[in-house]
Structure 1
Amino acid sequence: MTTTVVMVHGIRTSATMWRSQLAHLAERGVPAVAVDLPGHGTRMTEAFTLGGALATIDDAVRTAAANGRVLLVGHSMGGLVSTAYVGGEQKPPVDAFIAASCTAIPRGVGLATYRTLARGFDRLPGRGARIAEWVLDRTLPDETRADFGAGGYAYDAQDVALRSLSVLDLLAALRRIDVPTWFINGQYDQLRLNERLFVSLVPGSELIVVPRTSHLVTAMRPRVFNALLDLALATMDAQASAVTSSSR
């Protein structure tokens, strides 16, 4: 049975951040799609809303599910929204889930501090673009450096998107997730804060920490992340084979 991989980007970036993963999956003959959330990438002129983000994920997942199984992959903000989606009260047609760089509860002092820092950075000349580019130049490999910002940066959507995350009931969502799940973090990721809690709430889930890697694990260590995609796909294939064998 065909498995389609649906990928959801993080805040400010766009579907272009997944170029390395899309190329890898294409080489393997695995169908994949990377979406742009409202206010990001090709949809930069739209206003970001949480409902719009969830609808975007749902449309992509249901389109993919018409052809077989679905592996949903989300990074950072996209991972948090995808967690809420997979663990929604109405179970979506997702067969496995990778949540990357998103194991923190976006509420309280932590979220307020992050929003304050982001707003301060946004007030710098050029909205802090020179500093951001300097950091990316020194942390991302040549093979992914251009991809992260190729779709533009969603500066205008950033604060409203961060504020929207505070209404997510992630603890309830995590308790409802009943598909194979992998939480993937970089060793130096600032959003590792609640990783053990996240794993404890999803039975059978796995935590994978990638050494010498920051929050941008998909772009900083693309080959490692691609190997983890392969792991998830192989696990799904093995489980499908087991179900088929037991039904004979």
Structure 2
Amino acid sequence: MSSEAVVLVHGTRTSHSQWDRQMPALRAAGYTVVAPDLPGHGTRRGEPFTLDAAITAITDAIALGATLTGSDDGAAECRVHLVGSSLGGMLAIHAAAARPAALASLTVCGGTVQPTPRTARLYGRLLELVDSLPGGADGSSRLFELLLGPDGTRAYLRGGRAPAEVAMPSFDAVASLDLRADLARIEVAVTFLHGRFDQMRVHERSFVASTRKGRLVVLPYGTHMVNLNMPERFNADLLRVLARASAPPTLGS
């Protein structure tokens, strides 16, 4: 397992720290973990969000994972698994469609929706409206703790919370993509891993149908940020997904 890496791509307005509650379990299982910040987020707050810069951040992280595991030398088997949440999942689909040489699998969490320009702007506005709630601008609102719990909130906010202005260009960018066409170009195994009550499961069946090697896993628990508020159960299920992706194909599969 030490020759495998996992690249974790965060969602809107959070940072690499969204994955704080997954990293120990992944490392304990023997994976090398790479968690980049998207432009405008985390250590890159202050940078403008652009689609090109976001995809470069992901493909650079895949290349780093390949280097750390020795999978970039052309001799070792490609064992870099890409996992994206929400916005990060949609961007991961587009990045995987470019067929990075080291990519072994793609897992999308809470990102099976094809935004239109109208719905992207509506969702961006909703995210901005959170800042109008008491304490919403700095993430201290009790709303976060109600949704994520105290530990989940700390992970969500530890790397810094991106300003509201990043939401609109982020979702405008994914609205410009044809995610189903991207999925049709992906040659590796694709798993859509969703909490039962995730609001961004809208197009999950058509997304699965668009893949060459896709499957849908709906967990019997959890909401959109299931990795933050139910990490123990989510980690076990994510590890099973990655193990399945790593297993050699069986006859007739």
Could you say which TM-score interval applies, normalised by the shorter chain? 0.7 to 0.9
1:18-57 equivalences in 2 (<5 Å): 18-57=19-58
Q: Measure the CA separation in 1 of the matches of 2:113 and 2:81.
A: 22
Of the structure 1 ranges 96-105 and 109-118, higher mean CA displacement relative to structure 2 is found in: 109-118
Does residue 82 of structure 1 match 2:92?
Answer: yes
Partner of 1:246: none
Q: Is the 8 A contact 1:122 1:128 kept in 2?
A: yes
Output the aligned Cα RMSD: 2.2
Partner of 2:183: 174
Does residue 146 of structure 1 match 2:131?
Answer: no
Q: Is the 8 A contact 1:96 1:232 kept in 2?
A: no
Partner of 1:195: 204
Distance apart, 1:124 and its partner CA: 5.4
Which residue identity does 2:88 align to in structure 1? G
Of the structure 1 ranges 157-166 and 190-199, higher mean CA displacement relative to structure 2 is found in: 157-166
Query: Which among 187, 209, 214 is matched to residue 205 of structure 1?
Result: 214
SS at match of 2:8: strand
Q: Identity over aligned residues, as a percent?
A: 34
Which residue identity does 1:21 align to in structure 2? Q
Does residue 134 of structure 1 match 2:142?
Answer: yes
Distance apart, 1:212 and its partner CA: 3.5
Which residue identity does 2:57 align to in structure 1? T
Q: Relative to 1, partners in 2 of residues 1:138 and 1:59: Cα closer, same or farther, differing over 3 Å?
A: same
Extract unaligned runs of 5+ from structure 2. Answer: 72-78
Partner of 1:3: 4
Of the structure 1 ranges 110-119 and 29-38, higher mean CA displacement relative to structure 2 is found in: 110-119
Distance apart, 1:73 and its partner CA: 0.4
Greater percentage in helix: 1
Q: Measure the CA separation in 2 of the matches of 1:238 and 1:71.
A: 13
Query: Which among 164, 177, 182 is matched to residue 173 of structure 2?
Result: 164
SS at match of 2:21: helix
Q: Is the 8 A contact 2:90 2:111 kept in 1?
A: yes
SS at match of 2:28: helix
Q: Measure the CA separation in 2 of the matches of 1:77 and 1:29.
A: 27
Q: What are the Cα deviations for residues 24-83 of structure 1, in whole angstroms up to 9, with x where unaligned? A: 112222211111011100111211111001001111101212323100000000100000
SS at match of 1:208: strand
Q: Relative to 1, partners in 2 of residues 1:150 and 1:111: Cα closer, same or farther, differing over 3 Å?
A: same
Q: Measure the CA separation in 2 of the matches of 1:91 and 1:30.
A: 19
What is the TM-score of this pair, normalised by structure 1? 0.88
Q: Measure the CA separation in 1 of the matches of 2:197 and 2:242.
A: 26
Distance apart, 1:121 and its partner CA: 3.7
User: In the comparison of the two structures, how many residue pairs are matched?
Assistant: 240
